[in-house]
């Protein structure tokens, strides 16, 4: 397996230094410098987007629920998350107009920290019901996303959860032709939709797909990941921690000693390195509302990755943990209907 390794580039570091000064109230400047220095000295893992060869860091940041902060609620922790994310070499942020105020939080803090131009935003279009009668709703939603994110062009625009994909994909193609979007794709998390997704990967001139793949939920390995590899489609992985249920499974358990062989120091790094070691995976977007968890997750952006034999050993180890399958048998969104009517924008329970 070939893994692309490069250094955090100079512009990132300069911006990180600026960001550090802006964040003195949160962390000591000396500590920030040490962190930025560490990022310059360590090689980060990047992957090429197959259609263009453009490289992106393999660990990104999800924003579903975690970045949906209403006016008046505390949200300074999100500035710290974005600051640490960028300082550690992160660029890819995944969001959606469906995620309540998440676009606003990303746009505000990226602008304040001076990192907006360096972020690689993967966003989505969600259009249902009467809004489908013409393209005006999708168009208005897209314009609003760009305003909220302080952008005049989106890096990746995807059909959210394949909702009305046939109609929305036409629009995304047009936006790409007009230069308002750089790459287009579709997202889903449920294997029920993988037949449709595979057909689109094989015929739909997609640049990206976003799909679920974890050490427990490995259905994407069967057809989606090979189809992407065959057709030059970049793969972004959602829900990498099974919405934190993977951590519940290993609560109170030490990492196996063999994790040191591929540089995983925590369970989060163990779970993320399993995913990004798959050669078809381009990027993974774990979400967190905790700056220390962010630092932990970004540890997976560095060092060795497990090979195929080691990945099999990791699966075997997890399967040996009592209750592993029981904890994860339920779908990640019990009781929520993502195929039909949902409240919009989606709000935390
Ligand atoms: N159809 C779609 O397009 C679709 C569907 C689902 C998700 N997504 C994307 O995928 C992203 C990730 O999925 P997700 O947010 O649903 O779930 P996830 O990333 O699998 O899990 C998030 C949960 O893990 C916890 N966590 C994160 N890092 C941790 C660490 N180091 N240690 C302990 N706990 C940790 C978080 O709690 P703390 O806040 O306490 O850290 C949070 O409860 C979303 O945010 C979204 O961008 C897209």
Q: What is the pLDDT of residues 307-341, one digit of tens each?
A: 999 999 999 999 999 888 887 877 666 555 444 44
Going by alpha carbons, the residue nearest to atom 30 of ligand 1 is 293
- Establish if 255 belongs to a structural domain: yes
338 within some domain: no
> In the prediction, which pLDDT does 162 show?
94
Would you give the end-to-end CA distance of the chain in angstroms?
Answer: 41
Q: Is the pLDDT of residue 4 over 50?
A: no
For residues 136-154, give the mean pLDDT. 94
For residue 301, report the distance from its CA to the centre of ligand 1, in Å.
Answer: 17
Residue 52 lies in a domain: yes
The answer, yes or no, to whether any atom of ligand 1 lies below 6 A from the CB of 285, is yes
Q: What is the pTM of this model?
A: 0.88
Binned at pLDDT 50, 70 and 90, residue 19 comes out as very low
At 348, the pLDDT band (50, 70, 90 cuts) reads low
Q: What is the pLDDT of residues 252-269, one digit of tens each?
A: 999 999 999 999 999 999
Q: What is the CATH number of the domain that holds 112?
A: 3.20.20.100
In a domain, 90, yes or no: yes
- 168 pLDDT higher than 70: yes
Confidence of residue 207 (pLDDT cuts 50, 70, 90): very high
Q: Is the CB of 210 under 6 A from ligand 1?
A: yes
Asked whether 164 lines ligand 1 (CB < 6 A), one says no
**Percent of the chain topping pLDDT 70:** 81
Window from 66-80, 155-169, 174-188, 329-343 with minimum mean pLDDT: 329-343
* Residue 184 Cα to ligand 1 middle (Å): 23
Please give the number of the atom of ligand 1 that sits closest to the Cα of 286.
19
Q: Which of these, 217, 216, 165, 215, lies nearest to 190 by C-alpha position?
A: 217
Query: What is the model's pLDDT at position 39?
Result: 54
CA of residue 107 to ligand 1 center, whole Å: 19
Determine, yes or no, domain membership for 158.
Answer: yes
Per-position b or e across 199-219, b if 16+ CB within 10 A of its CB: ebbeebebbbbbbbbbbbbbe
Q: Kindly state the average pLDDT of the residues 19-46.
A: 52
In a domain, 142, yes or no: yes
Give dist(CA 166, CA 120) in Å, integer.
25
Position in ligand 1 atom list of the atom nearest CA 124? 3
CB of 187 within 6 A of ligand 1: the answer is: yes
Instruction: With a cut of 80, say whether residue 23 has pLDDT above it.
Output: no
Predicted pLDDT of residue 82: 98
Please tell me the residue having the least CA distance from ligand 1 atom 36: 288
Residue 34 has pLDDT above 70, yes or no: no
Q: Is residue 199 part of a domain?
A: yes
- The percent of residues in the chain predicted with pLDDT above 90, rounded, is 76
pLDDT at 12 over 80: no
Q: Give the pLDDT band (50/70/90) at residue 10.
A: very low
Which of the listed residues 288, 289, 300, 345 should we mutate to test ligand 1's pocket, taking the one with most ligand atoms within 8 A of CB? 288
Query: The domain containing residue 116 runs over which residues?
Result: 45-328
Please report whether residue 336 resides in a domain: no
Could you identify the atom of ligand 1 that is nearest to the CA of residue 297?
Answer: 31
| Total domain count, the chain | 1
Ligand 1 contacts CB of residue 66 (under 6 A): yes
Measured in Å, residue 129 CA sits from the centre of ligand 1 at 28
Smallest CA separation from ligand 1 atom 41, residue? 288
Helix/strand/coil (H/E/C) assignment for every residue in the chain: CCCEEEECCHHHHHHHHHHHHHCCCCCCHHHHHHHHHHHHHCEEEEEECCCCCCEEECECEECCCCCCCCCCCCCHHHHHHHHHHHHCCCCEEECCCCCCCHHHHHHHHHHHHCCHHHCEEEEEECCCHHHHHCCHHHHHHHHHHHHHCCCCCEEEEEEHHHCCHHHHHHHHHHHHHCCCEEEEEEECCCHHHHHHHHHHHHHCCCCEEEEECCCCCCHHHCCHHHHHHHHCCEEEEECCCCCCHHHHHCCCCCCCHHHHHHCCCCHHHHHHHHHHCCCCCCEECCECCCHHHHHHHHHHHECCCCCHHHHHHHHHHHHCCCCHHHHHCCCCCCCCCCCCCCCCCCCCC
Q: Is the CB of 160 under 6 A from ligand 1?
A: yes
């Amino acid at each position: 397996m070939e893994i692309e390794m490069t250094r955090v580039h100079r512009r990132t570091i300069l911006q990180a230094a600026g960001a550090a000064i802006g964040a003195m109230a949160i962390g000591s400047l000396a500590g920030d410098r040490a962190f930025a220095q560490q990022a310059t000295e360590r090689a980060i893992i990047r992957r090429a987007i197959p259609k263009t060869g453009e490289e992106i860091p393999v660990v990104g940041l999800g924003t579903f629920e975690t970045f949906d902060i209403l006016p008046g609620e505390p949200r300074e922790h999100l500035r710290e998350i974005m600051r640490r994310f960028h300082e550690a070499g992160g660029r890819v942020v995944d969001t959606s107009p469906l995620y309540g105020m998440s676009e606003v939080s990303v746009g505000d803090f990226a602008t304040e920290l001076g990192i907006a131009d360096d972020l690689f935003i993967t966003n989505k279009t969600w259009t249902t019901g009467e809004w489908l009668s013409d393209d005006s709703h999708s168009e208005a939603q897209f314009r609003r996303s760009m305003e909220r994110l302080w952008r005049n062009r989106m890096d990746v625009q995807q059909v959210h959860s394949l909702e009305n994909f046939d109609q929305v994909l036409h629009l995304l193609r047009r936006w790409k032709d007009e230069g308002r979007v750089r790459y287009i794709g579709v997202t889903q998390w449920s294997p029920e939709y993988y037949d449709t997704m595979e057909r689109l990967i094989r015929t739909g001139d997609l640049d990206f797909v976003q799909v679920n793949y974890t050490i427990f939920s490995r259905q994407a390995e069967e057809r989606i990941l090979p189809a992407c590899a065959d057709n030059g489609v970049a793969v972004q992985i959602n829900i990498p921690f099974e919405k934190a249920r993977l951590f519940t499974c290993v609560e109170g358990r030490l990492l196996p000693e063999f994790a040191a062989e591929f540089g995983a120091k925590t369970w989060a790094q163990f779970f993320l390195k399993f995913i990004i070691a798959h050669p078809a995976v381009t990027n993974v977007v774990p979400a967190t509302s905790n700056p220390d968890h962010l630092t932990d997750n970004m540890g997976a952006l560095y060092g060795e990755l497990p090979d195929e034999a080691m990945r099999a050993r990791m699966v075997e180890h997890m399967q040996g943990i009592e209750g592993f399958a029981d904890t994860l048998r339920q779908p990640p969104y019990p009781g929520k209907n993502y195929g039909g009517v949902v409240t919009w924008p989606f709000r935390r329970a």
